[in-house]
Structure 1
Amino acid sequence: MTEEPRWALITGASSGIGAELARAFAARGYDLILVARRHERLEALAQEIQGKHGVRAETMALDLEDRESPQDLVEMLRDRGIQVHTLVNNAGFGLRGNFATLAFERQLAMIDLNVRALTALSRLLLPGMMERGSGGILNVSSTAAFQAGPHMAVYYATKAFVLSLSEGLHEEAKPRGVTVTALCPGSTESEFSANADVEYSRTLRPTIMTAAEVARLGIEGYEAGQAIVVTGRTNWLGTLGAKFLPRRIARRIAGRLQRGEVTGHAEQANEKA
């Protein structure tokens, strides 16, 4: 009997954490569906992965800010006869600045991508996983999910949503043999900072991890059935601090970091689809 292929669908796969997640899943024998806006980058990554790991790598150039895109994506998968084993919701972006002055449309677009698209894809694909009793979802959240974030208020709030949703779905799906994991990286070398010309301060620089390290830890945690994966001991200690410090102090610290410890432009792209 031929073993069913394991397809991993990865959004925001064209660079950074998304691209490293694709490489890591391919190294484990998964076939891939790579989704992002940048077609040429996706094709280059697909060719690299197919040549190195001998797995299939399909590409789909979509902008998941478009509210119709998740349904369109699922229909494209159906047309190609692809059954998703693992959904990786990685696409997202962040905005830095004061809530009252940042562009209204861009903040709503951030919610559409970070929250709406992730929720839609999860809802569209999770029932099939639960019916089959295998597979799961790896949602890329952030250590920002553990506290409020002045000067990046909506971004922090979207990541808190992702963490909360993932934990809830983890408990719902676990009895059916399906895993839902929230990956919560801290500062990471990726286009999230590079596209924004962000220079991390000396305080933060020692805690920065490579995208490859984040991807490896995320997949290991997902395959181990963990609900939450916080990458790195320093980041884990930081989440404990956010948990046990009075909230007024935690949010002030986060606000000072965003206002003074990191310099750069107002918008940061994080493996945006």
Structure 2
Amino acid sequence: MLSYTGGIVLFAAILHASWNAMLHGNRDRFSSMTWMSIAIAAISTLVVVFNPSPANASWPYIIASGLVHIVYNVSLVRSYRRSDLALAYPIARGSSPLLVTLGAALFAHEAIGPVHALGIAMISGGVIAIALQGRHVSRAGALGALTTGATIALYTVIDGIGVRLSNGEALSYTAWMFLFYWLMPVLFVAKRGLAPLWKPLRAEPLSVGTSLVGGLVSIAAYGIVIWALQSGAMGAVSALRETSVVFAVLIGRTFLREAVSGPRWLACMVVAAGAVCLGL
């Protein structure tokens, strides 16, 4: 992977950790994810109006990815109900790069060199170690986080293939895919009703504002990843993005007052070393 692309994906990793922290920091995460989705879908609507459509060959992937993203959102909210950010986030993110590498090999016929393979393994191993050290992982919590990780791997492979068929329209591809986020408020209203959706605007406007900002950060973060997937190996891009877990640990420690042990810092260093391998 080119160093320029790698640097941009690392920036996306910081953005990704930030919006996850915003989501986890809100008490009602279903409501927060819904308002984030409204911001994402609204911006995407504006983008599709003023940009050319992606090539026809990419449309099955846009639809599939959009639907998988909705499953991912619901799974993520459920995962954060059971675990704190320093546990659920690393398990979900750490389990995906190896699955992405396997999926890219099977469906996109991608090959990866030994140094990059080592980097992917170090990042995945380090990320999962961050989550497991000194923690009791319940079966429900682990299953929720691993399910989230599987959806991450699935939509990453789908988008990696789809954006390469979009005739270079990565921005348009991303926006059309994110239009599916209009389904989140529909799901929220179906489950809780319309009044609970609007109530936070009056009762907790700061929380809604944080969620809207989180949505903008989220679309920027994953838009960068989709851009990188046009030319970068899917497994390597995915693994480099998952260095976001190091930033999540820092955010969790600084803003959410979550404890970080010495072994966990060591695992963060392993993740960083894996990122260096991907840059070679």
- TM-score w.r.t. the length of structure 1 is 0.26
Question: Going by fraction, where is helix more abundant, 1 or 2?
Answer: 2
- Greater RCO, CA 8 A, separation 6+: 2
Question: Going by fraction, where is strand more abundant, 1 or 2?
Answer: 1
- TM-score w.r.t. the length of structure 2 is 0.26
